[in-house]
């Protein structure tokens, strides 16, 4: 993942954060996005593109990856 981490508590160890989105094929919310990539739309808005962890189809979310 592109520099996306969460602090895991007392030890200070950082672990990768899970990016989730809506899977259109399964019609279910909060599906994990595997290998998320930061892209930019034609109008300049940030977006995230990747694949659904459960079905393997392309998944898309408007918004940017937070660091």
Residue 10 lies inside a defined structural domain of this protein: no
Residue 45 lies inside a defined structural domain of this protein: yes
Number of domains comprising the chain: 1
List beta partners, residue 46.
40
Asked if the model's pLDDT at residue 60 lies above 50, the reply is yes
Residue 33 lies inside a defined structural domain of this protein: yes
Confidence of residue 6 (pLDDT cuts 50, 70, 90): very low
Residue 35 lies inside a defined structural domain of this protein: yes
What's the per-residue H, E or C state across the chain?
CCCCEEECCCCCCEEECCCEEEECCCCEEEEEEEEEEEEECCCCCEEEEEEECCCCCEEEEECCCCC
Q: What is the mean pLDDT of the chain?
A: 81
Residue 56 structural domain: 20-62
Residue 37 lies inside a defined structural domain of this protein: yes
Rounded Cα gap, residues 7 and 62, in angstroms: 24
Residue 39 lies inside a defined structural domain of this protein: yes
Residue 34 lies inside a defined structural domain of this protein: yes
Residue 2 lies inside a defined structural domain of this protein: no
Predicted model pTM: 0.67
């Amino acid at each position: 993942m592109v520099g996306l981490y969460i602090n895991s508590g007392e030890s200070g160890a950082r672990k990768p954060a899970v990016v989730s989105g809506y899977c259109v094929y399964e019609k279910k919310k909060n599906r994990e996005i595997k290998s998320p990539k930061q892209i930019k739309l034609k109008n300049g808005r940030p977006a995230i593109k990747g694949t659904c962890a459960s079905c393997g189809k392309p998944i898309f979310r408007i918004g940017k990856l937070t660091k």
